[in-house]
Amino acid sequence: MKSSPPSFGGSSSKLSNYSRTFDLPDDLDSGSASDCELGGAMLPIFLNDLRRNNQQDLVEVTLELDNDSIVVCSVKPNPTSVTSDPGCGVDVHSAGILKRSLSATSRIRQKFGWGRSRSSRTTSSEIEDRTISARDARKIKAKLQRTRSSAQRALKGLRFISKTTGASNDANELWRRVESRFDSLAKDGLLAREDFGECIGMVDSKEFAVCIFDALARRKRRRISKISKEELHEFWLQITDQSFDARLQIFFDMADSNEDGRITREEVQELIMLSASANKLSKLKEQAEEYAYLIMEELDPENLGYIELWQLETLLLQRDTYMNYSRPLSTTSVGWSQNLSSFSSHNVVRRLSFALRYLILENWQRGLILMMWMMTMACLFAWKFYQYKNRAAFQVMGYCLCTAKGAAETLKLNMALILLPVCRNTLTWLRSTRARSFIPFDDNINFHKIIAQAIAVGVILHAGNHLFCDFPRLINSSPEKFSLIASDFHNKKPTYKYILTGVEGVTGISMVVLMVIAFTLATSQFRRNLVKLPAPFNRLTGFNAFWYSHHLLGLVYVLLLVHGTFLFLTHSWNQKTTWMYVSAPLLLYGAERSVRVGRSEHYSVKVLKVSVLPGNVLSIIMSKPQGFKYKSGQYLFLQCPAISSFEWHPFSITSAPGDDYLSVHIRIVGDWTEELNKVFTEVNDSPSVIGRAMFGQHGHVDQRGQPKLYVDGPYGAPAQDYQNYDVLLLVGLGIGATPFISILRDLLNNTRAADYQTDYTETSRSDDSSTSCASSTGAPSSKRRTQRTTNAHFYWVTREPGSFEWFKGVMDEVADMDHKGQIELHNYLTSVYEEGDARSTLITMVQALNHAKHGVDILSGTRVRTHFARPNWNEVFTKVATKHPFATVGVFYCGMPVLAKELKKICQELSHKTSTRFEFHKEYF
C-alpha cells in the first residue's frame, strides 16, 4: 500500500486530510475479505471488488479523520497507475475506474457512515457527495474529451518563450542568449529575482516574469531571491518544456500561491491583473474582479469556491468552442475550396512569366504615362539640341550650349506639368470620366515627385553647362569666333560678371536658390520633422516649413517668365516659348485656388459636436453645407481662421454620403492639429464659450460663439472607386481606418435601402393590380441601381485599445444590420502579446467567455472580437481568395508605406496562384 504524507490545515483544527493510495494485493480474494469486521475490514472488501474487475487498477481514497469518525472525501484513480494510449492521448482505464469510483464513493460512505452520529453531519455529507459526484462527472467528461490534437492546439495558447522573447527556434541558441544576459546581469554569480524577466527575454513584463520565478521557486520548497546559473538553467528547461502538461502546471502554480492545489477567485483575479499589467491594459485591470467571477461561474458551477488543475485545462482546451459561441463577425466561415498548393509552380520560366504578366497588368497605366512623358522630353531635348547645333553659336560654345538649351526645353515642359497633379478639383472630375481607364489618378503625388526630380536634373544640366562650360568658352573665345555672334551681345564681348549680374543671370540664380530651399524642405525627412536641428533652425522642419516654402515656387514662376523673355541668343517673340508652356497650367492652377477660396467661404460650416477620444484623436461633427456632395472614401480640407488664414489640411470624411452631417476624425500629432485641439478644449479669458472652450478672437467665431471652420472639397481618393469591385478588403492602420469607416456606413445605408425596397415590393404585391401598377411606375426607388459589391472584409490594426472607441457605434451598427454576414470586421491590437503567449492566455480566455455570454468584446466594447498582435497577412489574403473564387477583390490600404510593399507583393502572388484577382490601392497618411 502506497501512502502520501498527511496534510494538516492548522494546529487548532482537529480535522485533517489523509490521502493513501492502495495497491491491490494479489492474494486478497473475496472470501477472506468478506469475513472482515466493519471498520478496517470494509476497505479491503471494497478494494477486492475493484481488483476482480482489473487487477492492475489503483485507486486513491481521501479520508477525513475527526477523532473517532472517518469521512470519505473522494475516490479516484491514481494517475501514476493509469496507462495511456500514445496514439490518441486518452487514458485507457480512466473511464472504467472513475465510473466504478463514483458509485463506490457512496458505497464507502455507507460503510463508514456510522462514524458520524449527528444527523446534520450526515446531511452535509450527502450534499457534499452529490457536489463532488457532479464535479467528478465533469472531470470524467473532460478526460475523455482530451485528445492529442486538442492538447496541441492548447499548447499553442500557452507559451512562455515566444516571438517576443526569442527570435530563434534553436533551443541551444536561445539558451546561449539567456546565458549571455545572465553574465551581464548577475552579481557575484547570482541573478536577482527582479532581473529574471530581463534575463529570459521578458523585458517589458518583469512583474509577470517574477511571478514565474516564484512559482518555480516554490517547487524547490523554499523562498529564494537569487539563483545561480545552474538554477537558472533548471528554470529555463521547465519554462521551455514542450509538454502541454508541464506548461499548464507552471501556469497553474503561478496562481496557486499557497500550494494547496486549488485556485480561488481572489487568486484568479490576481492572475488577471498580472496579465493585464503585462499587456498594459489598464481598463481590463480595473475590471479584473468582474472577470474573475466570470471564470469561477463557468468552471465552478457547484460554487465550491475553488478550481483545480483539470478545470483550467478544460478552459484552455475548449477555447475555440467558447470563441465560436457568438456570431462569427470576425471569422471566415467557409471551407477551403481551392487547393492553393496546386497553383504553385516550381518551373522558373512559369514563375517569371507570371511575374511579368502581373507586372504588365498592374503597371501598364503608369508605364504608359511615363513612356509618353519621357518620349516627349526626349523629343524636345533632341529638337532643341539639333536646332542649336546648326546655329553659329555652336561654333563658339560647342555641345555645352546644345545640352543647356535641350535641358531648358525639358524644364519648360516639366514646370508646366508639375502643376497638373496638384489640381485636385480637375483630377476629382476626371476620376468620374473614362480617363480613369488609362490614367492612374491614385499616383498623382508620386508623379508630382517624379517631375520634381526631373526638374532638379534639368536645372543641373542647364545651369551647370551655362556656368561652367559655355559661358567660360564665350568669354575666352577668339575675336574671329565671337564675331559670329557679336550681334547677339550688341557687338561687345561680355564678361563673366556681366552675365551673372544681368537679368538672365539674376533670375536664373534666384530660381535655383528658391528651388533648392523648396525641394529640400519638401523631402520626407524635413516634412515629417525627422531632422533635428538646433534652435532657431528647428523651425525649418515640420509641415509648416514645407507648406510656406512651397509657396516660394509661385515666385519661381514669375522669375521663369522673366528669364524666358530676356534671352541672349533669341530675339523673336515667337521663339521665346516659355510662356507658351506654363500659361495654361498657371491659369488652371490659379482658377483652382480661386475656386477653393470662394467655395470655402460658401462652405463655412457649423460645429455640431466635438469629442476628444482616446488615443489623442479629435472627432468633429459639422453641418453639411448645401450642395456639398461626396463619395465614400474621399477627403476634404479644413481651415480654422483662429489658427491661420492660409493653412489648409486634408482629412478623410468618416460620414456616409447619405448622412445629414459631415464628420472627420483628426489625430493630434502636428503643430496645426495641436492648435486645433487647444481651440476646442482649452479655456481662455474670453466670454465666448462653447462647452468647456473659450475663444479670444471674436472675428474668428460665429454668432453662437463657436470657432469658424471652412471646408474645401470634396477631393478624389483611391477608396472612392470601391463600388467597382465584387469584394472589398479594407486595411487600415490606426487613424488610417478613417476613409473606410465612410465606406462601411455607405454599405450599411445601401443595406437599409435594399431592405426597404424589399419591404416596399412585398407591400406593393399585396395591393390590388391597379394600385401596384401605379406604385411601381411612380416610385423612383424601384429603379435603384444594383450594387456590385457583395462582401467586405475590414481589418483594423492599432496599438492602443482606446482607439476602438472612435468608431464603436459603426461597429455595433454593422453587427445589428448585417444579418447576411456580408461584412466581416477584424480588430487587431498590437500592444497585446500574440495569441498563444502565456501573458495573454488568460485574457484570451476571459475574452472568449465574455463574448460567449454577453456578445461583447472586453477590449473594444463592441460585438467585434479583438485579435492580438499583428495579422498573418498571407493567411488573411488566402482565406479571402478561398471564400471568393473568380472574384475581383479591391484591396484598399491606408497607413504607413512599409506594409504597403508587403500587401502589394501578396496581391501579386495570389492573383496568379488562385482564381481570385486582387487589385491593390494605397493611400498614405
| Per-residue model confidence as pLDDT tens digits over 204-255 | 888 888 999 988 988 877 778 889 999 999 899 888 887 778 888 888 888 8
Cell of 52: 476482480
- Tens digit of pLDDT for each residue in 443-452? 888 899 999 9
Residue 307 is classified by DSSP as B
Q: How many residues does the chain have?
A: 925
- Convert the pLDDT of each residue in 829-854 to its tens digit: 888 888 778 888 888 888 888 887 88
Residue 893 has pLDDT above 70, yes or no: yes
In the predicted structure, residue 504 carries a pLDDT above the cut 70: yes
Q: Which of 265-274, 686-695, 818-827 is predicted most confidently?
A: 265-274
As a whole number of angstroms, the distance between CA 704 and CA 854 comes to 43
Closest CA to 284 of 837, 829, 826: 829
Report the alpha-carbon distance of residue 586 to residue 631 in Å, rounded.
Answer: 28
Percentage, residues of the chain above pLDDT 70: 72
CA distance 179 to 189: 12
Quick count: other Cβ atoms within 10 Å of Cβ 215?
Answer: 22
Give residue-wise pLDDT tens across range 661-694.
899 999 888 778 888 888 888 754 433 333 333 3
Bridge partners for 737 per DSSP: none
Determine the pLDDT at residue 11: 39
Report the range of poorest mean pLDDT among 32-46, 401-415, 486-500, 737-751: 32-46
The pLDDT, as a whole number, for residue 40 is: 43
Phi then psi for residue 587, to 5 deg, are -65, -40
Residue 523: all three cell numbers together: 523631402
Output the CA angle 253-258-260, nearest 5 degrees.
80
- Residue by residue, DSSP assigns 596-652 as HHHHHHHTEE-EEEEEEETTTEEEEEEEPPTT----TT-EEEEE-TTT-SS--EEEE
| Gap between the Cα atoms of 573 and 565, Å rounded | 8
**CA distance between the termini of the chain:** 74
Q: For 607-637, how does the pLDDT look when each residue is reduced to its tens digit (9 = 90+)?
A: 888 888 887 888 899 888 888 888 888 889 8
Chain segment 758-775, per-residue pLDDT in tens: 555 555 544 544 433 333
What is the pLDDT at residue 148? 57
Question: Above 80 in pLDDT, residue 891?
Answer: yes
Q: What is the pLDDT of residue 530?
A: 81
On whether the pTM is more than 0.85, the answer is no
Top pLDDT among 694 and 403 is at 403
Using alpha carbons, list the distances in angstroms from residue 572 to 485, 512, 560. Answer: 16, 26, 18
DSSP-based three-state secondary structure for 342: helix
What is the rounded distance in angstroms from the CA atom of residue 451 to the CA atom of residue 4?
84
Task: Single out the residue of 542, 520, 521 nearest to residue 670, CA to CA.
Answer: 542
- Torsion angle of C-alpha atoms 845, 848, 850, 852, degrees rounded to 10: -140
Whole-number Å distance between alpha carbons of 851 and 857? 6
Confidence at 454, pLDDT banded by 50, 70, 90: very high
Task: Give residue 77's pLDDT.
Answer: 56
CB neighbourhood size of 632 (10 A): 26
Q: Which three cell numbers stand for residue 53?
A: 474487475
- Listed residue (45, 47, 49, 39) closest to 20, CA to CA: 47
pLDDT at 20 over 70: no
Q: What is the pLDDT of residues 112-144, one digit of tens each?
A: 443 344 444 445 555 555 556 777 777 777 776
> Does the N-terminal peptide bond of residue 301 adopt cis geometry, omega within 30 degrees of 0?
no
Predicted pLDDT at 463: 92
Nearest to 518 by CA among 582, 449, 467, 564: 449
Q: Distance between CA atoms of 711 and 468, rounded to whole angstroms?
A: 50
**Contact (Cβ atoms closer than 8 angstroms) between residue 339 and residue 376:** no
Provide the pLDDT for residue 760. 52
Q: Give the chain's mean pLDDT.
A: 76
pLDDT at 762: 53
pLDDT at 15: 39
Q: What are the DSSP E strand ranges found in 737-854?
A: 791-798, 823-829
Q: Which tens digit of pLDDT belongs to each residue from 304-341?
A: 888 888 888 877 777 666 655 544 444 433 333 344 44
Residue 247: CB atoms within 10 A of its CB come to 23
Q: 649 pairs with which residues across the strands?
A: 638
The predicted structure's pLDDT at residue 120: 42
- Dist. CA 146–CA 144, nearest whole Å: 6
pLDDT band at 6 (very low <50, low <70, confident <90, very high): very low
Q: Is the pLDDT of residue 352 over 80?
A: no
- What pLDDT does 101 receive? 42
Angle between helices 552-565 and 503-521 (to 10 degrees): 150
Asked if pLDDT for residue 96 goes beyond 50, the answer is: no
Asked whether residue 151 carries a pLDDT value surpassing 70, the answer given is no
pLDDT single digits (tens) 33-83: 334 333 444 444 444 554 444 444 455 666 655 544 555 556 555 544 444
pLDDT score recorded for residue 581: 93
Q: What is the CA angle 591-594-595, rounded to 5?
A: 85
